[in-house]
Amino acid sequence: MNEVISTLLAGLIGLALGLVGLAAYRFSQRRASGLPDVDEPILPEGAASVLSVIGRAFVILDDVDGVVRANPASYAYGLVRGHTLVHEELATLVRQVRADGVIAESQYELQRATLGAGQLIVHVRVAPLGEEYILLLADDRTDITRTEAMRNDFVANVSHELKTPVGAMSLLAEAINDGADDPVAVRRFSTRMQKESKRLAALVQDIIELSRLQSSDSILHGEDVAIESVISEAVDRNKLLAEEKGISITVGGKLDVAIHGDGDLLMTALRNLIDNAIRYSPPNTTVGVGLRQRDGYAQISVTDQGPGISAEEQERVFERFYRVDGARSRQTGGTGLGLSIVKHVLANHGGEVSLWSQPGQGSTFTLRLPIVDEEGAEPSELATDTTNDKASATSVADREGERR
């Protein structure tokens, strides 16, 4: 009997709770029906369609600078976080346009607000959109601005570098004319003129090589090149300069493989690298060229016994016209473009160049280039790191560096 009464009481309590819940739901519905409707932001007709194909980062802001709508590019650039415009410079321009109703544009160098730190150069155009919104358009000009700066620097540097030998040749020609009756002076000045003309010719040739690198695709228009023959030609073209300083060029190791690309450009890169080693090495020393095959790459190391390069300057030696020691470079006759050409050639062939150097212990430049059809090679050959391979890559100059 007690169990029946308990069951009836539980049922009544459940029914009462259900009725209370239903009453609460109907009450909340009546209250909600009395609240004003909040419309989504309404853009002028056609604006959304235009913005979707405009190809720029865009942000739409309301009358209190809140971000109403923004595309993914604006977030990628770090212009917007959540519903807020990040940079105060942009917010100031937006408020100015809202106040006077006149379209404004400007260019800013902004700090990226995303995880990818760095500077962002954007061209911004701000305009009223309808009666209540402001439209901000942003175009990333970072790469364009940097390219223009590099081009301007390059033109300025080329002008300066060309002016030096041309001016020297003009002065030497005048000196020869004035000293026509002095055979010794004429011989001395003509020798100097010949040296300056060679320097001018080398500079012009390097500029042509850089232009060729930037206007061609070595991979698309290349062919399979036997790398050992390229290295042999690069060494042969530097023998005369090496003999003048009493420097021997020692080649160790073997690279019986092919590289896909432009043989002339590869030879130019290696010639410039060996030329650089000879020019910065003391007389009667050795420049070592080490060859090895490893992990599907041809590896070529060029080692000198020169003054070495400090850690701060190692990243900059591949820049155009950068010289660690300007006075010394002028004495050696370098153009300041050799290592830049090396870097561009390697990049165009899918390779890389690295540098090891310490002041007083010389420098080693190492080139790595992908080998053609490495599938046919044995894995042990691709990953060789034996004592004989190491010895072939070091050469006499390397052993001298180890002794020091």
In this model, does residue 381 exceed pLDDT 50? no
* CATH code linked to domain 47-140: 3.30.450.20
**pLDDT tens, 208-252?**
766 666 555 555 567 888 999 999 999 998 998 899 899 999 999
Name the percent of the chain lying above pLDDT 90: 18
Query: For 106-110, what is the mean pLDDT?
Result: 88
174 or 400: which leads in pLDDT = 174
Which pLDDT value is given to residue 232? 92
Q: Assess whether pLDDT exceeds 50 at residue 23.
A: yes
Select the CATH number that applies to the domain covering 142-215 from these four: 3.40.30.10, 3.20.20.70, 1.10.287.130, 2.40.30.20.
1.10.287.130
Quick check: 116 pLDDT over 50? Answer: no
Domain 218-403 class in CATH:
alpha beta
Position 35 scores a pLDDT of 42
Whether 388 has a pLDDT exceeding 50, the answer reads no
Query: What stretch(es) of the chain map to CATH 1.10.287.130?
Result: 142-215
Residue % of the chain over a pLDDT of 70: 66
Q: Is the pLDDT of residue 32 over 80?
A: no
Average of per-residue pLDDT across 77-94: 88
Ranking 198-202, 330-334, 382-386 by mean pLDDT, the lowest is: 382-386
**pTM of the entire structure?**
0.49
Residue 329's pLDDT band, with cuts at 50, 70 and 90, is very low
Residue span(s) of the chain under CATH 3.30.565.10 come to 218-403
pLDDT at 112: 66
Give residue-wise pLDDT tens across range 269-286.
898 899 889 988 999 999
Mean pLDDT score of the chain, rounded to an integer? 75
| Residues carrying CATH 3.30.450.20, the chain | 47-140
Q: Pick the residue with more confidence: 281 or 178?
A: 281
Which pLDDT band holds residue 379 (cuts at 50, 70, 90)? very low
Residues 57-82: tens digit of each pLDDT = 899 999 888 998 888 888 888 888 88
Confidence bin at 321 (pLDDT 50/70/90): low
The three state secondary structure string of the chain is CHHHHHHHHHHHHHHHHHHHHHHHHHHHHHHHHCCCCCCCCCCCCCHHHHHHCCCCEEEEECCCCEEEEECHHHHHCCCEECCEECCHHHHHHHHHHHHHCCCEEEEEEEECCCCCCCEEEEEEEEEEECCCEEEEEEEECHHHHHHHHHHHHHHHHHHHHHHHHHHHHHHHHHHHHHCCCCHHHHHHHHHHHHHHHHHHHHHHHHHHHHHHHHHCCCCCCCEEEEHHHHHHHHHHHCHHHHHHCCCEEEEEECCCCEEEECHHHHHHHHHHHHHHHHHHCCCCCEEEEEEEEECCEEEEEEECCCCCCCHHHHCCCCCCCCCCCHHHHHHHCCCCCHHHHHHHHHHHCCCEEEEEECCCCCEEEEEEEECCCHHHCCHHHHCCCCHHHHHHHHHHHHHHHHHC
